[in-house]
Structure 1
Amino acid sequence: MRVARSVQIVRPGLALLAMSGMSACATLPRNGPTGAQITKDASKRNDIGFQIVDIAPDNIAGLSTVDMPGGALATLAAEGNVDTLGAGDVLSIEIYEVGASLFGGRANLATGGTSVSGDPAPSASGETVGDGGIVVDRNGEITVPYIGTISVGGLTTAQVQRLIVAGLHGKSQSPQVIVTLRRNVSNTVVVMGAVTNPRRVPLTLARERLLDVIADTGGITRTAQTGTSTATGTGPQDEIVRFTRRGRTVEQPLDTILSGSPDDLVLLGGDRIELIRQPRTFTVFGAIDRISQIPFESSTLTLAEALARAGGPNDGRADPRSVFVFRLPPGMTPVAATQAQDPTMPAAVPVKPIAYRIDMQSAQNYFLAQRFVMHDKDVIYIANASANQPLKLVQALGQLFSPILAVQNATR
């Protein structure tokens, strides 16, 4: 009779425990939804209008292509000279004369000047006009003794030489003039940002290109090459070139610029080049050992590689049939400019976000995961298995009753 009574007492307790356990399953903490809950949210609780697309053999071709954003820099291509003078340039002017001279009577050149090579020139006297050089003023003009003001902006040094010779005609006997550019200011480009030696680079008649001056400034910095944290990324695939010319600015990834291509622009004076580090990363959530943000560290990254870098699903908690890649749309449809001009046009419709789903319990999907290409700022979510909640309840009850059982065992 005692045994039967004990059973009768235990059974109501077990029933109460089972009922409380069933209700507790819905309230236990979790780190994310199950695959079924995500599917339900897509059909009912979906304010942003995202849709679920299964990764399959019939659509993998479109998901395995990489859109390389090239050609932006080529739109800034322009013709121009790099040997013309402008404001701020510093000139060196040497004037040589024979016989009675205007410039050779000074003490330092009274016995006859020197030639360009430095050899004596006993039959001619010469003088360097302006020992510190002559600066082209903001109006593009210089002043030469016995000639006056000369407009040199936009001219070459050879053209300036001819102007000075013409200005000395009738004043000096057979004048010879050599004009050299002592300091180049107007025909320079500024290179800044994530380069080893940011500075102003003078251009020459060799016609330097974009990649030439990046190399001349030491290339990308060591920090950009090695990264400083798990979310920094490495190498030129994470460098953006911001190029400004004549008031227009475009951006393009550094690793899409091929040497000698139209994007490798021939530089002009006044160009500004800035290298900006923009690491491409993806984030992993859900039934994994550690939530993390991971850099691509390569030009392309597949879903299989991304899952491997994240450590893969947790065997005890994950549902391998429900692996999602959440991807935001690239932007609005290109009607904003027209709409600004015509307010009667309908508002632009944004592209809907997509949650790509793959079943990793299917053998063929491992091949598809090797072709699916990740995009910058994609979010991988590995769904929790439905059996996780009862398992968590059992673990919670075990932690609750284990002290009581330990005391009972100790008192026996």
Structure 2
Amino acid sequence: MNWARRVALLTLVVAVAACALPRSGPNKKEIFAGSVLNDGDAFVVSVNDRVTRATAVVPALGFSGNFVNAGALGSDTIRPGDVLGLTIYENVDDGLLVNPGQNATLLDEVQVDGAGFIFVPYAGRIRAAGNTPEAVRRIITSKLDTQTPDPQVLVRRLAGDGATVSVVGGVGAQGVYPIERPTRTLSSMIARAGGIAIEPEIAQITIVRGGQRARVWFNDLYRNPRYDIALRGGDRILVEEDTRAFTALGATGSQNRVQFRSQTISAIEAIAQVGGLSTQLADPTGVFVFRNEPEDVARAVLGRNDLQGTQRFVYVLDLTEPNGMFQARDFAIRDGDTVYVTEAPFVQWQKTLSALTGSVGAAAGVVDTASTLSQ
């Protein structure tokens, strides 16, 4: 039976060696085999200072000139739909508007029409929307002054909220708020709504004004005062978290889809966020970043002008190089990236030996059982 045992053990060794052992993904050799240089469909590029500069693309958020250059509204700006009350005083007995024996005429509930105008007898059609009550008073006075001596006019809002904005998303108190003197700018209106209720570092603010939309980082309101824009009636303010994320796979502390926790994140920070490299599995020479690069960035990275459209790239980081950690610290991760760490070569040997040891033990037990039964 010694001869039969040897044959059985040899058969198991060959079978285990031929099997594909479990692993977390492709190895370095397989990734490099997919390079364009090897008739693959991806450019495999080692990260250096030039590549880091060419790929350092950060989302550009900010307001256009139409938003930045808009002047602040007055706290009592009249809006279409508002209802005004007019009182007109005349210094003559037989005035244009007053009744005999009186010197004042009261015009209640003069509504601003959809186009923003009101009608005043003898003064005609007057633009009210966008003006303050004081500005409307001056316009009416000017119109009547040529027809009655020294008219005195009072204008007040009887109904209507004037200019309002809506604030939704990650704020303390969502709602519709009037534009008042203390809340005529973006930062003051957010404060009026209870401040932001999400992490400031990843908070983004979107303004929708008519057919225009613009977005800015919350912190930039204070870093760059020009972004603290004046509000307009009807503005919609949305406060939300940054939605960018990357995926971590392979021999890392955890494999997961990870949200950005800051405006920029480096490769070394991305690895740290998932628990770092696995000390028992990872190959520090095989850290890869998979990405689809836009045409302009792809051309800059490769120094070529013949590329058309989006290109597949695999960036290689070797943390064992003298400046490898610095390269990983400076290389920016972008939205949709896949960070993959290969297993060290010896890991597969360990798995093979473990599988062989277990298989050999099992085979030996089978042979021993067979020998016992045959006696």
Q: TM-score under structure 2 normalisation?
A: 0.75
Instruction: Specify which structure has the higher proportion of helix.
Output: 2
Displacement of 1:364 in angstroms is 3.1
Residues 69, 256 of structure 1: 8 Å contact kept = no
Match of 2:44 in 1: 52
Q: Distance in 2 between matches of 1:72 and 1:258?
A: 14
Q: Does 1:263 align with 2:255?
A: no
Match of 1:41 in 2: 34
Q: Distance in 2 between matches of 1:207 and 1:195?
A: 15
Match of 2:288 in 1: 324
The equivalences for 1:92-171 within 5 A come to 92-95=85-88, 129-130=107-108, 133-142=109-118, 150-154=125-129, 155-162=131-138, 164-165=140-141
Q: Distance in 2 between matches of 1:53 and 1:35?
A: 13
Q: Distance in 2 between matches of 1:271 and 1:348?
A: 42
User: Structure 1 residues 239-248 or 316-325, which shifts more?
Assistant: 239-248
Deviation track 1:288-344 (CA, whole Å, cap 9, x = no partner) reads: 343112233223322222222212222332222101122222x4569xxxxxxxxxx
Q: Does 1:368 align with 2:362?
A: no
Match of 2:309 in 1: 350
Residues 87, 136 of structure 1: 8 Å contact kept = yes
Q: 1:29 to 1:206 in 2, by over 3 A?
A: closer
Q: Distance in 1 between matches of 2:323 and 2:285?
A: 13
Q: 1:243 to 1:349 in 2, by over 3 A?
A: farther
Please give the secondary structure, in 1, of the residue aligned with 2:34: helix
Q: Does 1:240 align with 2:232?
A: no
Q: Does 1:252 align with 2:216?
A: yes
Displacement of 1:394 in angstroms is 3.3
Unaligned ranges ≥5, structure 2: 298-305
Residues 28, 393 of structure 1: 8 Å contact kept = yes
Q: Does 1:62 align with 2:37?
A: no
Q: Does 1:15 align with 2:7?
A: no
Displacement of 1:32 in angstroms is 0.3
Please give the secondary structure, in 2, of the residue aligned with 1:178: strand
Q: Distance in 2 between matches of 1:15 and 1:159?
A: 100
Q: Distance in 1 between matches of 2:328 and 2:156?
A: 63
Match of 1:118 in 2: none
Unaligned ranges ≥5, structure 1: 111-123, 226-234, 335-346
Q: Distance in 1 between matches of 2:360 and 2:12?
A: 12
Count matched residues.
355
Residues 86, 152 of structure 1: 8 Å contact kept = no
Please give the secondary structure, in 2, of the residue aligned with 1:360: coil
Identity among equivalent positions (%) equals 27
Q: Distance in 1 between matches of 2:154 and 2:224?
A: 35
Match of 1:73 in 2: 64
Displacement of 1:381 in angstroms is 0.4
Residues 182, 188 of structure 2: 8 Å contact kept = no
Match of 2:303 in 1: none
Please give the secondary structure, in 2, of the residue aligned with 1:267: coil
Q: 1:169 to 1:298 in 2, by over 3 A?
A: closer
Match of 1:274 in 2: 238
Please give the secondary structure, in 1, of the residue aligned with 2:268: helix
Residues 96, 176 of structure 1: 8 Å contact kept = yes
Residues 281, 344 of structure 2: 8 Å contact kept = yes
Deviation track 1:361-392 (CA, whole Å, cap 9, x = no partner) reads: 33431233222232233221011233333432
Q: 1:77 to 1:308 in 2, by over 3 A?
A: closer
The equivalences for 1:161-240 within 5 A come to 161-162=137-138, 164-165=140-141, 176-183=152-159, 187-204=163-180, 208-220=184-196, 222=197, 225=198, 235-240=199-204
